[in-house]
A and B are shown apart, each in its own frame.
Chain A
Amino acid sequence: MPEPSHFRRILILWIALSVIATPLVVILAAPGLPPGDATSEAAGQVTDNTVLLGIATPIAALLVVYFAYALIVFRHRGPEPDEGVAIRGDNRVQLTWIVATAAIVLFAAVYGTVRIFGDSGAGGGQGPNPIAKPSGDPLQVQVIAQQWAFTYRFPSFGGVETPHLELPVDQDVEFHVTSLDAIHSFWAHQLGVKADANPGVDNVAYARPTETGSFDIRCAELCGLFHGHMFDTGQVVSDSSFQAWIRGQQREFAPATRNLNPYNRGYLPHPERRAG
């Protein structure tokens, strides 16, 4: 029996599988994935994941088809081994593979970089001097992490410090994340925000909530004994509710606010007290 054209068969199977699977993944599965679309940053991450899944699906299909085909068709049964075909290598195949993978990796690198700038940092911490900023005048919120709780300070509202977080909808927010002791990480899951909290460092991240609702806040960097207990629920509310809430907080914490250190981008831990 003459050797059938394995190459053509694999090609047909691959194209068929890709044509079926890719739209299913891109249209049906990917847009519903977390973190959702509560902020423009979170929605941007979902878009990015959809694009990457769109690239990854045909690659996965190729490998699945190739493996399934090779493992079934080229199987050898019987007690004694039989010799395969003496092929040492094929420059065309190798070159194609190198060029294709390099192109995909370069695309991913360029795409990710472009998206990060276009999306005001995609919700990630950018350090003290952020490059990708939203236009306009964002609401400043300082996130102060310590073992084992987050507190939030609003410099534009008299430097009041609150134990919970509420944010106004449709308003850019500028988070200044810092820590008083160990390294923490401020993760507001549905907002698509994650920024490490380093002692003495001002780490800036942006988000623009686009719908009201609650979001989860967790610490995402191991910070000691009660790391697992460092969580809270925040709220995105209408602008009028936010104003009412922050005025209430200012009244409630007025005595405490008077005794706080003046607002600062980073609070060094007390020198005689070793961190923590």
Chain B
Amino acid sequence: MNTAAAERPLWRRLLGFNLLAGIVLGVAGFYFGWWLGHQIHAKSLAYFADTNQNDVALLLGYLFFPIGFVIGLGFAKYPLSRALGREPSHHENEEGGLGRYFGVCTDHKVVGMQYMVGIGVFFFIGGLNAMLIRAELLRPSPQLFGAGNYLTIVGLHGAMMMGVMSSAILGPFANYFVPLMIGAKRMAFPRIEALTFWLLMAAGVIFVSTIFFGGFPTGWTGYAPLNDQANFGFDSYIFFFALVGLSMTLLGLNLIATIVTMRAPGMTWGRLPMFCWGVLSTSGLMVLAAPVLIAALLMVAFDRSLQTSFFLTSGGGSPYLFENLFWFFGHPEVYVVLLPAMGITAEIITVHGRKKLFGYKTVLYTTIATGIISFFVWAHHQFVAGIDPRIMATLWRAKIRYTVPMLFCLAWFFNFFIGGVSGFFLSDTPSDVSTHGSFFVMAHFHYTIMGGLIFAFFAAIYYWVPKMTGLRFNERLAKIHFWTMFIAFNSTFGPLFALGLMGMPRRVATYASNLQPLNIWVSVSAFVLGASMLVFLANVLYSMVIAREPAEANPWRSKSLEWQLPTPVPVHNFDRIPVFDADPYDYGIPPVAPRHVPAGASGVAPYPDRK
């Protein structure tokens, strides 16, 4: 703890650049934009448009809110000091206790934990929306919500999950573990790293605020011209995705810079852990795809506020243009979600099978190729074959241990396989005619994204969180969580294939009454799936707050570098930069003890044979 800070009186500590100032300046920024918008537009509003909704005011409010928020948090301090010719502090809030987690912190491990909690909250909100959707679909005619509220909930669920889940693995796990895996003391741009997190939080607040402005009826795709027609709750969609896109772009740039330039001596490209390769390809996709989305959303904002017509047929624009721009982002986005998940399974399966990764080079090339191909198929989905079977071959004559992370990885295979086979049908045009836009597609992408990403996400949580917190999960609760989640997941999304084939379109609260029994089955399973998340929360509470059993430094006997560090990891990771002399998947060769130990990592004896 910083004792000087602790002795200061409360009012003095609250004053300055911190979360409180961020919130105050953020709200002030919103009202400034709102006021400005009314100055610009209020008089002409009644004259030009037949509406009392001032889109300009809300858009400007949403523009100035994040600006005020990040200035209040203290992101202007560094550039201002530089501009005034002062020597700024290069590390912020890296020492100290819990307070570090509630403000700007340049320690990549703190940002990783912040992301973990932030993503968790968003995931919870998205999941609650899913529960509401399934509650509505218990009956074939609207019962709980009006048509407008139902569509808003569907849109909130979809956009929240897609926008936030794209950072679900890169945010917490890449920020935390990439520097540890490649032997770096920090990320390449620590301040930008912190900025990505706080931008994401601002985006989340903006998005949820849509409920005060009437919601939006467009789903997560927000197609034109529906997006132009929507009332001004849609403005929060625009700024949510634009800020998420900005956060993704910066996060991607930072990770690319880190992996390319900050690898320790001996960490050659051929020794880079698969997880880092997945993160690197994903970052490339983010950097190239997310700006397109930001541009498209900006055009929508102009269509809505400045009466341009980029996407409006009546003014010479084209709604196809928005579809194309959206999917130019949207399709790579699917792989943004997928590739790091594949990296995680590669890590966990090699460790738990005590085998080298089968065909490292091929996995690597397919990962990169998938990333590149994903740009050419934005208009439809293709069966990109070839990655998972190779990781699968790693199981051949392995010595497999069934721990909870391993179970989640195997479930990932199973789900992703079903998602892949259903994609085979969707990619075949004649079959796609009957399945497109139906619940069949919905089942397909939930199998690939939830069955893929979320299962890998939980695998990563059970695998790495003991390292991050130094505390062990309760094994019994973890296994209950896994089995309820896995069974309920399949019981929820399996029948949706049938519902789609039988003619149920997406995003409707009204459906044919002969589909009701299956829908009830799906809803009940979905509630069980939701309950399994409560088991997980209970486990987090019990293990991390109540029981607090310390975890071993290397419980999985991994040979990857992050596990050779003591738990908890020291603030600057390594005393001296480590030197690698082996690859991270050197299993299958006794002894089990790790072959590469970072020289000078505090608390770890250096590898005795090193010259």
Contact yes or no, B399 A81, CB < 8 A? yes
Q: Is B319 within 8 A of A183, CB to CB? A: yes
Residues of B within 8 A of A231 (CB): 510
Question: Chain B interface: which of A64-72, A157-165, A249-257?
Answer: A64-72
* Contact code string B324-366 (vs A, CB < 8 Å = 1, else 0): 0000000000000000000000000000011110111110000
Residues of A near B386 (CB, < 8 A) are 97-98, 101
Q: Which of B314, B320, B414, B431 contacts A274 (CB 8 A)?
A: B314
- Known A-B contacts A89-B361, A192-B433, A222-B219; the reply to A275 vs B312 at CB < 8 A is yes
Please, which residues of chain B bring their CB within 8 A of the CB of A216? Answer: 503, 512
Contact B505 A187 (CB under 8 A): yes
Do residues B399 and A45 form an inter-chain contact, with CB atoms below 8 A?
Answer: no
User: Would A34 and B502 count as touching, CB distance under 8 A?
Assistant: yes
> What distance in Å separates the Cβ of B394 from its nearest Cβ neighbour in chain A?
9
Segment of A14-22, A107-115, A133-141, A236-244 engaged in the interface with chain B: A107-115
A102 at the interface (CB under 8 A from B): yes
Q: CA separation between A271 and B501, bound complex, in Å?
A: 39
A140 to chain B, nearest CB (A): 20
* Closest beta carbon of chain B to A225's beta carbon, Å: 5
Q: Is the CB of B428 within 8 A of A76?
A: no
Question: Cβ of A225 and Cβ of B399 under 8 Å apart?
Answer: no
Q: How far is the CA of A124 from the CA of B437 in the complex (A)?
A: 12
Question: How distant is A194 from chain B, measured CB to nearest CB, in Å?
Answer: 5
Does A224 interact with chain B (Cβ within 8 Å)?
Answer: yes
Query: Do A74 and B395 contact each other (CB < 8 Å), given the known contacts A87-B588, A220-B437?
Result: yes
Given A97-B386, A183-B223, A111 and B507 contact (CB-CB distance below 8 Å):
no
B398 at interface, CB cutoff 8 A = yes
Could you tell me if B503 and A218 are in contact, using CB atoms closer than 8 angstroms?
yes
Complex contact B228–A274 (CB within 8 A): yes
Question: Closest CB of chain B to A124's CB: distance in Å?
Answer: 4
Asked if residues B421 and A60 are in contact (CB atoms below 8 Å), the reply is yes
Least CB distance, B443 to chain A, in whole angstroms: 14
Query: B225 contacts the other chain (Cβ, under 8 Å)?
Result: yes
Which B residues touch A84, using CB under 8 A?
353-355, 397-399, 587-588
Task: Please measure, in the bound complex, the distance between the C-alpha atom of A276 and the C-alpha atom of B386, giving whole angstroms.
Answer: 45
**A85 engages B428 (CB within 8 Å):** no
B402: interface (CB < 8 Å): yes
CB distance from B558 to the nearest CB of A (A): 10
- State whether A85 and B355 are in contact (beta carbons under 8 Å apart), knowing that A124-B429, A194-B434, A224-B229 are contacts in the complex: yes
- Distance (Å) between the CB of A57 and the closest chain B CB? 10
**A68-104 at interface with B (beta carbon < 8 Å):** 70-71, 74-76, 80-90, 93-94, 97-98, 101-102, 104
Contact A48 B312 (CB under 8 A): no
B217 located at the interface, meaning its Cβ lies under 8 Å from any Cβ of chain A in the complex: yes
Per-residue CB contact flags for chain A residues 163-181 toward chain B (1 = under 8 Å, else 0) read: 0000000000000000001
In the complex, the answer to whether B399 meets A83 with C-beta atoms within 8 Å is yes
**Contact A199 B319, CB 8 Å, known A187-B505, A274-B312:** yes
Does B430 interact with chain A (Cβ within 8 Å)? Answer: yes
- A49 in contact (CB, < 8 A): yes
Any chain B CB within 8 A of the CB of A24?
A: no
Residue A9 interfacial (CB < 8 Å) = no
The interface residues of chain B lying within 8 Å CB-to-CB of A181 are: 225, 229
A187 CA to B435 CA in the complex, in Å? Answer: 10
Query: Cβ of A105 < 8 Å from any Cβ of B?
Result: yes
With the chains together, A111 CA to B430 CA distance in Å?
A: 10
State A42–B503 Cα separation when bound (angstroms): 13
The interface residues of chain A lying within 8 Å CB-to-CB of B361 are 89
Also in contact, A200 and B229, with CB within 8 A (given A81-B399, A98-B386, A108-B427): no
- In the assembled complex, the CB of A85 is this many whole angstroms from the nearest CB of chain B, namely 5
With known contacts A84-B355, A86-B356, A274-B312, A108–B383 Cβ distance under 8 A:
yes
With the chains together, A49 CA to B147 CA distance in Å? 34
Instruction: Decide yes or no: A269 and B313 within 8 Å by CB, A222-B151, A223-B226 being known contacts.
Output: yes
Partner of B359, one of A56, A94, A219, A224: A94
- Does A273 sit at the interface, judged by CB under 8 A? yes
> CB distance B503 to A112 under 8 Å?
no
Candidate in B410, B417, B427, B503 with the most chain A CB atoms within 10 angstroms? B503
| A35 CB within 8 Å of chain B | yes
When distances are taken between beta carbons in the complex, the residues of chain B under 8 Å from A228 are: 142, 147, 150, 507-511
Q: Is the CB of B232 closer than 8 A to any CB of chain A? A: no
A-side interface residues, number (CB < 8 Å): 86
Asked whether A8 is an interface residue with its Cβ less than 8 Å from the other chain, the reply is no
State how many angstroms separate the Cβ of A90 from the closest Cβ of chain B: 8
Residues of B within 8 A of A220 (CB): 436-438, 505-506
Asked if B424 and A87 make an inter-chain contact with CB atoms under 8 angstroms apart, the answer reads no
Residue of A nearest to B502 (CB): A34
Question: Are B314 and A116 in contact, with the CB atoms below 8 A?
Answer: no
A227 interface contact, C-beta 8 A: yes
Per the bound structure, the CA–CA distance linking A81 and B383 in Å amounts to: 36
- Residues of A contacting B417 in the complex (Cβ-Cβ under 8 angstroms): 60, 63
Interface membership of A13, Cβ < 8 A: no
B148 interface contact, C-beta 8 A: yes
B306 to chain A: which residues have CB within 8 Å? Answer: none
B45 within 8 A of A: no
Once the chains are docked, how many angstroms separate the CA of A112 from the CA of B508?
30
Asked if B98 CB lies within 8 Å of chain A CBs, one says no
Q: Name the residue of chain B whose CB is nearest to the CB of A195.
A: B433
Q: Is the beta-carbon distance between A229 and B147 smaller than 8 angstroms? A: yes
Q: CB distance B217 to A89 under 8 Å?
A: no
Q: Do A52 and B512 touch (CB < 8 A)?
A: no
In the complex the two chains form, is B510's CB within 8 Å of A82's CB? no
Q: Across the interface, which residues of B come within 8 angstroms of A44, CB to CB? A: 430
A112 CA / B425 CA spacing, docked (Å): 10
| B433 and A123 within 8 A (CB) | yes
Tell me the nearest residue of chain B to A98, going by C-beta.
B386
CB distance from A26 to the nearest CB of B (A): 15
| Residue in chain B with minimal CB distance to A88 | B356
| A194: chain B residues within 8 A (beta carbon) | 433-434, 436-437
Residues of A within 8 A of B147 (CB): 225-229
**Cβ contacts under 8 Å, A221 to chain B:** 223, 437
Query: Any chain B CB within 8 A of the CB of A185?
Result: yes
Q: Please name all residues of chain B whose beta carbon is closer than 8 Å to the beta carbon of A56 when the two chains form the complex.
A: 421, 424
- Which partner residue on chain A sits nearest B354 by CB separation? A84
Q: Given contacts A63-B417, A224-B229, is CB(A94)–CB(B362) below 8 Å?
A: yes
- The yes or no answer to A119 lying at the interface (CB within 8 A) is yes
CB atoms of B389 and A116 under 8 A apart: no
Given the known inter-chain contacts A74-B399, A216-B512, A274-B314, please indicate yes or no for A222 contacting B225, CB distance below 8 A. no
Q: Are B507 and A275 in contact, with the CB atoms below 8 A?
A: no
Partner of A71 from B228, B356, B400, B433 at Cβ < 8 Å: B400
Residue from A63, A83, A193, A198 having most chain B Cβ neighbours under 10 A: A83
B positions within 8 Å CB-CB of A: 142, 147-148, 150-151, 217-219, 221, 223-226, 228-230, 312-315, 319-320, 353-356, 358-362, 383, 385-386, 389-390, 392-393, 395-402, 410, 413-414, 417, 421, 424-425, 427-434, 436-438, 501-503, 505-512, 557, 587-590, 592
Residues in A lying within 8 Å of B, measured CB to CB: 3, 6, 33-35, 41-42, 44-45, 48-49, 52, 56, 59-60, 63, 66-67, 70-71, 74-76, 80-90, 93-94, 97-98, 101-102, 104-105, 108, 111-113, 115-116, 119, 122-124, 181-183, 185, 187, 189, 192-194, 198-200, 216, 218-229, 231, 268-271, 273-276
13 contacts between A and B (CB under 8 A): A76-B400, A83-B354, A85-B396, A85-B398, A90-B358, A112-B428, A122-B430, A182-B223, A189-B434, A193-B433, A194-B437, A224-B226, A228-B509
Given contacts A105-B385, A181-B225, A275-B228, 4 further A-B contacts (CB under 8 A): A115-B430, A192-B434, A199-B313, A227-B147
